[in-house]
């Protein structure tokens, strides 16, 4: 390495070769850099050649990397070694009342909503933690948390679930305790973490350096330790994971402006009108091409943050003790006073916050190839073990669909749909653009026969029934000759007594509901 008086640095890094790599007869060290940058500066690459005695090898085996740095550059930050995930704790926010995802959240927390036929939303951040090596996880809950707690216990805290070694998975429910700090339920995401600030005084937290704040209702696959490494190497107090988005969705997210070093210089939560236009930026700074940048002129926060532990405690307890929300209060204020950095996540990510987004994200799993896939052996998505048999499919046509285990499909047609566990679809039924969440239990053949003999509707979908653009919640009983197609194009409707709602044009059949024979919706 050469360092000039003006802060200009030149160093060489070996390429990855088979066997030992040597530079001019000496061992070289492989140095990794992220996104072609070093300390926020672009790198210039020039090939060199390895001298072997009196000859030159023409194949380049190392690169000369040159960059200009400010005088305060710390050379120790050139060490790009992976840090210990045991110094990181993750806090997964269980979400609010889930009103936009109602009626799926009528009796369950948002992270407990089933997805992909066999999983729950909470499995996504939990699996990302496991695959990243992070084994200290807290989940904060408040609304309808019974099924979420049950799933977490079965999937991650039991002997048959995913292992966390010497770590832990703990559910922290909102409580009311004597004293000023315990008078209210969680008032927002930041307040939820604030009410459990004492966790960081626990002996188990003595080695914790950084705190990951995650949402329990997002669909994406991410290596959190890459995120944490970027945060630590930059020296940031707070790092926000972000992605470029277009005009159509920009007002639904927190938007930020950044400088050419990736530092956040402005943040606005869900701006509208002129405030939205003011947040447009040249996203080529994120590495997008000119065409991509024109299509996606906004930088959106994913609601995924990493804080230095001491900074987080300072913000919540002393600097902003009355701020309730990270996105609308803590982050915008902190960006003006603390070193807040953006981290580009340029991959699939979806906020499952509405019925329409839930519906579309599920159906997107049937694409070829899907934008998000649960089929990844290297980074699997975990869930609870159910010990269900394979699905049984008799004389049926299945096109561009997912059929989960333990299901019975008989002489039916399933097209561009997701069929959940323990589902039963009977003769001549036709499902298209439908998300069926499945059932929590089976009915025996004798129970089904008895129900039919009494004129009742058994679990599942009856004969000669047509269903399109619909979400069918668990344990629904849909009779024979039913038509669910919303042919009139109704956008919003509440029909609780009839067993269904319509949200954004999508029909939602309620959990445990009964749709009688011959019904037309």
Span 46-96, pLDDT tens digits: 444 444 444 444 444 334 343 443 333 343 444 445 568 889 999 999 876
User: Hey, what's the torsion of the CAs at 358, 361, 366, 368, to 10 degrees?
Assistant: 170
Query: How far lies 148's CA from each of 111, 127, 142, 170, in Å?
Result: 7, 15, 11, 12
- CATH architecture under which domain 85-240+302-340+347-364 falls: Alpha-Beta Complex (3.90)
- Sketch the domain layout of the chain as residue ranges: 2-78, 85-240+302-340+347-364, 392-515
Residue 196 has a pLDDT of 81
Q: What would the mean pLDDT of 130-158 be, rounded to a whole number?
A: 86
CA-based max dimension of the chain: 95
Question: Taking all residues of the chain, what is their mean pLDDT, rounded to a whole number?
Answer: 82
Its pTM stands at 0.81
Confidence of residue 204 (pLDDT cuts 50, 70, 90): confident
Residue 325 has a pLDDT of 84
Q: If you search the block for the tokens 């089904």, which residue do you land on?
A: 448
CATH tag, 392-515: 2.160.10.10
Find out whether the peptide bond into 380 is cis, omega within 30 degrees of 0. no
CA 102 to chain centre: 20
Query: How far lies 413's CA from each of 53, 403, 423, 460, in Å?
Result: 72, 12, 14, 14
Which residues, at least 6 apart from 436, have a Cβ–Cβ distance to it below 8 Å? 417, 418, 419, 420, 423, 425, 461, 472
């Amino acid at each position: 390495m050469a360092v000039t008086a003006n802060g200009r640095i030149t160093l060489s890094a070996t390429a990855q070769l088979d066997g030992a790599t040597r530079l001019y007869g000496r061992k070289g060290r492989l140095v990794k850099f992220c996104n072609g940058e070093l300390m926020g500066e672009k790198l210039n690459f020039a090939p060199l050649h390895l001298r072997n005695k009196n000859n030159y090898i023409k194949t380049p085996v190392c690169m000369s990397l040159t960059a200009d740095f400010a005088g305060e550059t710390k050379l120790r930050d050139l060490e790009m070694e992976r840090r210990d995930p045991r110094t990181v704790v993750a806090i997964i926010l269980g979400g609010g009342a889930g009103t936009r995802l109602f009626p799926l959240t009528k009796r369950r927390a948002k992270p407990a909503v089933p997805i992909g036929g066999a999983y729950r939303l909470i499995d996504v951040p939990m699996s990302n933690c496991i695959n990243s090596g992070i084994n200290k996880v807290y989940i904060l809950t408040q609304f309808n948390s019974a099924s979420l707690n049950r799933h977490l216990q079965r999937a991650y805290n039991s002997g048959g679930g995913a292992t966390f070694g010497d770590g832990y998975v703990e559910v922290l429910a909102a409580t009311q305790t004597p004293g000023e700090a315990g008078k209210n339920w969680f008032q927002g995401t930041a307040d939820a973490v604030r009410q459990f600030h004492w966790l960081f005084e626990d002996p188990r937290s003595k080695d914790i350096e950084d705190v990951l704040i995650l949402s329990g209702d997002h669909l994406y696959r991410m290596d959190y330790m890459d995120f944490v490494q970027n945060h630590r190497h930059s020296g940031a107090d707070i790092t926000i994971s972000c992605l470029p988005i277009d005009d159509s969705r920009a007002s639904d997210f927190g938007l930020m402006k950044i400088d050419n070093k990736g530092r956040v210089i402005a943040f606005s939560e869900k701006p509208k009108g002129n405030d939205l236009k003011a947040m447009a930026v040249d996203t080529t700074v994120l590495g997008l091409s000119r065409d991509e940048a024109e299509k996606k002129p906004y930088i959106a926060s994913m609601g995924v943050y990493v804080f230095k532990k001491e900074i987080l405690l300072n913000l919540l307890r002393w600097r902003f003790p009355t701020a309730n929300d990270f996105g609308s209060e803590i982050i915008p204020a902190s960006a003006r006073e603390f070193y807040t950095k953006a981290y580009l996540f340029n991959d699939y990510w979806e906020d499952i916050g509405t019925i329409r987004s839930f519906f579309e994200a599920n159906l997107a799993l049937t694409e070829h190839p899907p934008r998000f896939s649960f089929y990844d052996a290297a980074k699997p998505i975990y869930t609870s073990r159910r010990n269900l048999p394979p699905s049984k499919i008799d004389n049926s046509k299945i096109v561009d669909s997912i059929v989960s285990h333990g299901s019975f499909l008989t002489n039916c047609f399933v097209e561009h749909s997701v069929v959940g566990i323990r589902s039963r679809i009977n003769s001549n039924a036709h499902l298209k653009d439908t998300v069926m969440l499945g059932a929590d239990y089976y009915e025996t053949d004798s129970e089904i026969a008895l129900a039919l003999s009494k004129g009742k509707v058994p679990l599942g979908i009856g004969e000669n029934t047509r269903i399109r653009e619909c979400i069918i919640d668990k344990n629904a009983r849909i009779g024979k000759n039913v038509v669910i197609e919303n042919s009139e194009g109704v956008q919003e409707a509440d029909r609780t007594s009839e067993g269904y709602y319509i949200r954004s044009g999508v029909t939602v059949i309620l959990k445990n509901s009964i749709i009688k024979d011959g019904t037309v919706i």
